[in-house]
Structure 1
Amino acid sequence: MQPKIVEWPHVKQWTGATPPWVDEGRPCMVLTARMVYRTAAGQLIIVPAGYVTDLASIPRFLWSVLPPHGELMTAAILHDWLCSHGGGLLGVPRSYADGLFKQCAGLYPVTPWKRKASYRAVRVCGRGGWVNGWHTWPEPITA
C-alpha cells in the first residue's frame, strides 16, 4: 500500500505555554485541524487538532538549509506526535517514529541529500526528547 496523507494538517502560531516536549523559547505551531496519515502498512495515525509542535528540532543556524517548516513540515508533525505520545499512549518504539518520518518525507519532492540529512538529524537529535520522557506525556495540549 502506498503511504498517504489522508487529511492535511492546518497550523497556526502557538502563543500559549511551551509544552514539555519543546525546548523553552522555540517557536511553536498548533494544529487547528487534525492530521491523518496512512502508513505503507495501512495503519492510520491521527494527530489531533490542538496538538502543539515545534515542527522540527533543527538548530537555528541550519534553518537556511533545513528549515523546520516547508516540505518536511508534515513529516515533522507526525514525528513529533509519535515522539511525544508514541511510547506512553501508543506503545511504539522510537525507531518506528523515526522510520515514519523518513517514509512521510519520501512523499515530497525533497532532494535526496536533504531527506537523508533530515532523517540523520532525527536519529541523532531526536534521542533527547525520547529519553527525557516526551513519550510519556499523557494528553495533547488543546488550543
Structure 2
Amino acid sequence: MPVLQPIPIRTKKVPSLICRIYIWIFSIRKWRVKEEWSYKLPDGKIIVIPAGFEFDGASIPRPLWMLLSPTGLLLIPGLIHDYAYRYDKLVYRDEEGSLIDYQKGAGKAHWDKLFRDVGIQVNGIAFIDVLAWLALLVGGWFTWWKHRRNDEK
C-alpha cells in the first residue's frame, strides 16, 4: 500500500461558519505520496508513483462516497489514474534506477480503461469499477482538459 499523508482542508481561518461548512461539504480531500510507490499493472509492467505526488483519488461528490469512496476500493486505481491524467504517462525505473516514461501520450480513454482494469485487479468488484469508469467517461473531460491546458503553459 502507498504511504500517504492527508493534506488539510483549509477551514480554520475562514471567517464564517457557513463558509467553513460549505468548504467541508464540497472540498475534495487531497493526499501526498510520502514514499515512492510501485505497482504491477495488469499488463505486468511495474510502474512508479514518485514521492511528493499530490492527488485526490477520485473527484467524486460526497453524496456518492458511500458507493464510490475515493479512499476505499478506488484508492489504488485513483492514485494511478490521477498521475496518468496529470502527465499523460506513467513512469517506471530502469536497471540503472532512472525514471522512464511509459505509455506517454496514450490519452484519456486509455487511462480511463486502466482505472477500470486496475480497480478490478485490486478489489475484484467489477460492478463498482465499471460504475466508476462510466462516471469517468462522462465527467473526466474537465480534469483531462485542465491538465492539457497546463501542459501548454
Query: Per-residue displacement from partner, 1:41-67 (whole Å, max 9, x unpaired)?
Result: 333322111000011111111111111
Match of 2:88, SS? helix
Gaps of 5+ in 2: 11-25, 90-100
Superposition TM-score, scaled by structure 2 size: 0.69
Question: Which residue of the partner structure matches residue 64 of structure 1?
Answer: 66
Q: Distance in 2 between matches of 1:32 and 1:73?
A: 15
Q: Which has the larger radius of gyration?
A: 2
Query: Per-residue displacement from partner, 1:15-51 (whole Å, max 9, x unpaired)?
Result: 499xxxxxx9422010011222233333332211100
- For 1:36-115, list aligned pairs within 5 A: 36-86=38-88, 90-115=104-129
Question: Which residue of the partner structure matches residue 133 of structure 2?
Answer: 119
The runs of at least 4 aligned residues of structure 1 exceeding 6 Å deviation read none
Question: Which residue of the partner structure matches residue 7 of structure 2?
Answer: 14
Q: Distance in 1 between matches of 2:150 and 2:41?
A: 23
Q: CA RMSD in A?
A: 2.6
Identity value in percent: 23
Superposition TM-score, scaled by structure 1 size: 0.74
Query: Per-residue displacement from partner, 1:80-125 (whole Å, max 9, x unpaired)?
Result: 00001116x7322111211111111012334332121111112221
Per-residue deviation at 1:135?
A: 7.6
Gaps of 5+ in 1: 1-7, 18-23, 139-143
Q: How many residues align?
A: 124
